Amino acid sequence: MNKKLLISTTVFMTLLLVAVVYAQSEAILVSDNPADHSAAEILANKINASVVMTTWGTFNSTALSEIQNLGVSKVVIIGGTVAIPENAETQLEALGIEVKRLAGKDRYETASLIASFGWPNGTTNAVIVQGHDAEGIRIAMQKAKAEGMPILYVTPNRVPERVKEQINALRIKQIESIQAPDLNKTKIEGELKSEGIAKINFTKRNMTEASEKAIERAETLTQKANESLGNLTANGKSVAAYKLYEISIRHLNAAKEAYANRTYGRAFGQAISSAELARASIRISENIVVGDLKVEVQKAKMNISKEGIVKIRNHFKKQRIKVIRFNGTVKINKSEGTVSINQSMKVGNTTINKTVKITNSSIEINKSMSGQNMSSEINKTINKSWSSPWH
């Protein structure tokens, strides 16, 4: 009986201790921006905190309730007041919660601040990745969490100065770099070595797959943006959302063309631009108008006053005609080492349909053009040796 009582008491005290420790733990509040969110997840893994995510540009009641339910005494906010508005701090502090915000002027500086906060005594290892490469950031996050190291972001062609400063401040000597189709490996490697990095490991990726995934992601977001638009009205938000959507489509078409031409770096970069523009259009349609999006809406209002909505509508119609419409499909069969690309392009009143089949030894192109008073067909097979990117 006494033994059972002792066990019960021990279990109760253990659970009570766990509850107290949990109540004293921290939470990290972050937006759904991939760069900030991944850095937050890595930090949470390092300091044993919970992550609460809110829609970029907002702080909703759901996020507040989640923080309250966690029973935390401190919240670290990731990102500036555009990503997570200032009223988040006001509401949390009103509940007696200590708040600290880690925010730089951009994602590069913000990630650097997170690294400094989470690794105050420095670290020998870090992972770097192109700051707008969503898939690459996901890969980097997994590596960083597994090895307990911070994440830092670079542009396709340079290591930002703030990142260089953090590399030196943390005394980093070894870096894991996630490759990307548009990453200038030679330049990035040179800049890192000039900062005293002794060893750089480049994590390999299939560049065709990386470009394909980026295009697929852009397609998904542009489709969602299109569905969110509604009718074009004489309203700054409506016009701004349409404008960003149209530009995102141009970048998506350029990405698909580049992919068809096997210029994967350009395809990747254009797809990323398309995705980010489409996301901006969606946010405006969802009435999230902060930061640069607020500027876009203000410009649209000025344009409506100057040009009138009828002229703006006609402009969008003309843009749709001018832009090459590349509504195609891309299929890759890795086991056979082939790629099939079906393209449908429209330039003015001319429609071009093209099918390209690429194998290890040949490229087969079938093209047909049609329009007002014209019709032609071109079939061409090019037999030549080339190195398949899937082997």
Q: What is the pLDDT of residues 9-18, one digit of tens each?
A: 554 454 444 4
Q: What is the pLDDT of residue 373?
A: 41
Report percent pLDDT > 70 for the chain: 75
For domain 1-103, say whether CATH 3.40.50.11540 is its number: no
Mean pLDDT of 198-203: 93
How much of the chain is helix, strand and coil, in % rounded to 5?
50, 20, 25
Helix (H) or strand (E) run with residue 331 in it: strand 329-333
Cα(43)–Cα(45) distance, integer angstroms? 5
pLDDT value, residue 310: 84
Q: How confident is the model at residue 349 (pLDDT cuts 50, 70, 90)?
A: low
88: tokens are 């988040």
User: pLDDT value at position 385?
Assistant: 34
CB atoms within 10 A of CB 319: 15
Report the alpha-carbon distance of residue 200 to residue 173 in Å, rounded: 9
Q: Give pLDDT, residue 282.
A: 96
Residue 324 in this model has a pLDDT that exceeds 60 = no
Say how far apart CA 213 and CA 24 lie, in whole Å.
41
Q: Which of 55, 82, 77, 52 is nearest to 67 (CA)?
A: 52
End-to-end CA distance of the chain: 69
Mean pLDDT of 354-376: 55
> Higher-confidence residue: 291 or 232?
291
**Mean pLDDT for all residues in the chain:** 83
Summarised one tens digit per residue, pLDDT across range 31-75 is: 999 999 999 999 999 999 999 999 999 998 999 999 999 999 999
Domain boundaries, the chain: 1-103, 120-205, 207-322, 329-383
Please say if the pLDDT value at position 374 is more than 50. no
pLDDT, residue 320, reads 56
* 3-state SS assignment for residue 53: strand
108, pLDDT greater than 70: yes
Whether the pLDDT of residue 338 is over 80: the answer is no
Three-state SS at 326: coil
Least confident residue range of 56-60, 104-108, 324-328, 348-352: 324-328
Looking at residue 354, its pLDDT comes to 65
> Could you give the CA distance from residue 105 to residue 85 in angstroms, rounded to a whole number?
15
Q: Which residue has the tokens 């470009």?
A: 211
* Residue 21, pLDDT above cutoff 90: no
Q: Which two tokens stand for residue 373?
A: 């008073």
The secondary structure of residue 350, as a DSSP letter, is: E
User: Is it true that domain 120-205 has CATH number 3.40.50.2300?
Assistant: yes
Instruction: Give the residue with greater pLDDT, 327 vs 74.
Output: 74
Model pLDDT, residue 378: 36
Q: How confident is the model at residue 367 (pLDDT cuts 50, 70, 90)?
A: low
- Residue 10: what pLDDT? 53
Is the distance from CB of 127 to CB of 152 less than 8 angstroms?
A: yes
- What is the model's pLDDT at position 351? 60
Residue 356 has pLDDT above 80, yes or no: no
**pTM, 2 dp:** 0.76
Confidence of residue 260 (pLDDT cuts 50, 70, 90): confident
